[in-house]
């Protein structure tokens, strides 16, 4: 009897039907915890190592492309792999199912938060979660910075971005454009300082043959076609214009839902570097300009986003739900309906560009691989993201530790919980869910003890 190589694909994995893929993407939507790193790890384990639907090198090739795009890279990677396996419908199924469970869960949690947030049990849990979120954001800045800030040039870009948003109140889109320009110029003047797009390593051999292997020719749907690209762009434009036109006709351009659609379309084009990078922009608009929610609610929304599956940028669904619920468009008795509609619309306008980027750019992905003119601007933007995230951490810390402003009291219990969360993350490398759960329990005990 012949022996099977441990890394060879199981006979059941010799093909990947659309039904098999649909069931996998549905499962993934419910288990994709851990942020982009955890989600990408799950995709790698399932598709590269266990199912052998795609080779390691092709997987990393797709990941490098998704890193160049604005938007949640894990969701875009799932969309890309679904598209590579089963064409446009496969990509749409993969991308939608990556997000849909998270949307439904967040709508339910957002309603519980708004309806029962003053109940001692819920208030106590969030009392502990807020300082944990501050520590998590600091940890995110450190994690991205340690991977990105490899030399003095990149440190300087990060510092300039921090000063620009913290002291000068420069709008986030201008910071992104400036950092991209500096990255482009740096790639031309000092290419050795701006090489690489984020520290992903080369493929490791040894997993055995895959359904889509290193040298498997691209399927017919993955070959570039101008006609196909034109059709895709036309459909994408209609999918944006039709709901935006309907909202404008029903509520006017200044209507809450219309402005949400417009604002989150712009936000979707600025999410280079992940959700933490665009959160300051969402805060500037949703909290500072439109007043859809309060700073405290923004912190609580990020905590809910951290505890649910799916990409962290799904916190925008919480923002939309709160904005629609607190400012009911259909009367106070229909607040839940208004919140749910707003959450769904915000999710639509946030993720539509991601699908278009992947489906339009997929056939051209080979031409972008490893070329400095594409990766250097991203390196500059990612460096700036570190400074922007640090500003976000200071913003959260201020509202958590001085809830009444600097003139008020310093919240020592929150400071101790934040310190404990930071030690758990930095020293003991505990997961985000564990840290949030532990801090929520500590907050509940403190909150009930203070009553």
Asked whether residue 18 is assigned to any structural domain, the reply reads no
pLDDT value, residue 234: 96
Asked whether residue 355 is assigned to any structural domain, the reply reads yes
Q: Which two tokens stand for residue 384?
A: 């700036």
Q: Are 387 and 278 in contact (CB under 8 A)?
A: no
Q: Which two tokens stand for residue 258?
A: 């219309």
Q: In 181-324, which ranges are E strands?
A: none
Asked whether residue 33 is assigned to any structural domain, the reply reads no
Asked whether residue 387 is assigned to any structural domain, the reply reads yes
Cβ contacts of 171 within 8 Å, gap of 6 or more:
281, 284
Number of domains observed in the structure of the chain = 1
Q: How many CB atoms lie within 10 A of CB 245?
A: 12
Asked whether residue 92 is assigned to any structural domain, the reply reads no
Asked whether residue 403 is assigned to any structural domain, the reply reads yes
Digitized pLDDT (tens) for each residue of the chain, 451 residues in all: 333 444 444 434 456 788 899 999 998 888 776 566 667 777 887 888 788 898 877 787 777 677 767 788 889 999 999 999 998 999 999 999 999 999 999 999 899 889 887 667 777 887 888 888 888 878 878 877 887 788 899 999 999 999 998 888 887 778 878 988 998 898 888 888 876 544 443 444 555 677 887 777 777 888 888 898 999 999 999 999 999 999 999 999 999 999 999 999 998 887 665 666 677 788 888 988 899 999 888 888 887 887 788 888 888 999 999 999 988 778 878 999 999 999 999 999 999 999 999 999 888 765 554 556 666 787 787 788 788 878 878 877 888 889 877 888 899 999 999 999 999 989 998 877 788 889 989 998 998 776 5
Radius of gyration of the chain (CA): 22
Domain limits at 392? 100-197+225-450
pLDDT value, residue 197: 44
Asked whether residue 130 is assigned to any structural domain, the reply reads yes
- Rounded to two decimals, the pTM is 0.71
Asked whether residue 281 is assigned to any structural domain, the reply reads yes
Using alpha carbons, select from 31, 30, 104 the residue that is nearest to residue 347: 104
pLDDT value, residue 9: 43
> How far, in whole angstroms, is CA 260 from its chain's centroid?
18
What are the angstrom distances between the C-alpha of 108 and each of 96, 104, 321, 341, 441? 19, 6, 10, 13, 21
């Amino acid at each position: 009897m012949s022996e099977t190589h441990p890394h060879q694909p199981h006979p059941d994995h010799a093909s990947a039907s659309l039904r098999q893929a649909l069931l996998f993407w549905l499962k993934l939507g419910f288990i994709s915890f851990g942020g982009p790193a955890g989600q990408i790890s799950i995709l790698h384990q399932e598709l590269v190592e266990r199912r052998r639907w795609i080779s390691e090198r092709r997987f990393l090739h797709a990941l490098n492309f998704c890193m160049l795009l604005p938007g949640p890279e894990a969701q875009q990677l799932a969309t890309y792999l679904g598209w590579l396996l089963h064409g446009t419908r496969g990509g749409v199924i993969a991308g939608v199912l990556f997000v849909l469970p998270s949307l439904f869960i967040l709508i339910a949690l957002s309603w519980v938060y708004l309806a029962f947030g003053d109940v001692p049990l819920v208030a106590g849990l969030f009392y502990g979660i807020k300082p944990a979120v501050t520590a998590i954001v600091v940890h995110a800045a450190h994690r991205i910075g340690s991977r990105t800030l490899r030399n003095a040039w990149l440190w300087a870009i990060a510092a300039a971005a921090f000063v620009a948003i913290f002291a000068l109140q420069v709008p986030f889109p201008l910071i992104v454009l400036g950092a991209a320009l500096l990255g482009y110029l740096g790639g031309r003047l000092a290419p050795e300082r701006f090489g690489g797009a984020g520290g992903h390593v080369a493929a490791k051999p040894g997993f055995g043959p895959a359904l889509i292997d290193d040298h498997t020719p691209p399927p017919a749907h993955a070959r570039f076609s101008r006609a196909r690209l034109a059709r895709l762009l036309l459909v994408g434009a209609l999918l944006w214009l039709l709901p935006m036109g309907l909202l404008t006709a029903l509520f006017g351009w200044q209507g809450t839902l219309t402005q949400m659609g417009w604002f989150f379309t712009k936000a979707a084009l600025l999410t280079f570097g992940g959700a933490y990078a665009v959160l300051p922009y969402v805060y500037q608009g949703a909290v500072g300009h439109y007043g859809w929610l309060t700073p405290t609610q923004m912190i609580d929304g990020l905590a809910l986003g951290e505890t649910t599956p799916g990409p962290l940028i799904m916190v925008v669904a919480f923002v939309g739900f709160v904005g629609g619920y607190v400012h009911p468009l259909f009367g106070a008795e229909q607040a839940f309906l208004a919140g749910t509609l707003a959450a769904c619309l915000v999710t639509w306008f946030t993720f539509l560009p991601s699908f278009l980027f992947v489906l339009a750019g997929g056939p051209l992905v080979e031409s972008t691989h490893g070329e400095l003119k594409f990766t250097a601007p991203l390196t500059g933007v990612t460096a700036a993201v570190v400074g922007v995230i640090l500003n976000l951490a200071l913003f959260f810390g201020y509202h958590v530790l001085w809830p009444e402003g600097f003139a008020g009291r310093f919240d020592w219990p929150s400071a101790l919980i934040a310190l404990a969360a930071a030690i758990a993350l930095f020293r003991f490398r505990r997961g985000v869910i564990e840290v949030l759960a532990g801090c929520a329990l500590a907050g509940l005990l403190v909150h009930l003890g203070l009553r």
